[in-house]
Amino acid sequence: MSFNRREKILESLREQDTIMLKDLEKQFPEVSSMTLRRDLEFFEKIGEAVRIRGGARHIKSLGTQEDLYALRAVKNPIAKERIAHLAADYAETGRSIFIDSGSTGMSFARALTDINLSILTCAPNVAMEVSKRYKPNVTMIGGVINRNTLSVSGSQSIQFIQSLNFDIAFLVASAFSPENGFTCGNADECELKRAIAAKARRTILMVDSSKFGKSMPYTFANMTDVDILVTDIRPDETVLTLAKETNTKVVF
Q: Are residues 144 and 176 in the same domain?
A: yes
At 171-184, the pLDDT tens digits run: 999 999 999 999 99
At 211-252, the pLDDT tens digits run: 999 988 899 999 999 999 999 999 999 999 999 999 999 999
Number of domains in the chain: 2
Does residue 71 lie in a domain region? no
Residue 183 to residue 115: CA distance in whole angstroms: 31
What is the residue range of 89's domain? 77-251
Closest C-alpha among 45, 112, 34 to residue 74: 45
- Say what percent of the chain tops pLDDT 90: 71
Judge whether residue 27 has pLDDT over 50: yes
Judge whether residue 67 has pLDDT over 50: no
Judge whether residue 210 has pLDDT over 60: yes
53 - beta bridge partners? none
| CATH (domain of 35) | 1.10.10.10
SS3 assignment, position 72: helix
Tell me the pLDDT band of 68, cut-offs 50, 70 and 90: low
Q: Are 174 and 184 in contact (CB under 8 A)?
A: yes
Average pLDDT of every residue of the chain: 90
pLDDT at position 146? 85
99 - beta bridge partners? 121, 170
Q: What share of the chain is helix, strand, coil (3-state, %, to 5)?
A: 45, 25, 35
pTM: 0.75
Tell me the pLDDT band of 43, cut-offs 50, 70 and 90: confident
Q: Are residues 11 and 99 in the same domain?
A: no
112 - beta bridge partners? none
| CATH (domain of 176) | 3.40.50.1360
Judge whether residue 44 has pLDDT over 90: no
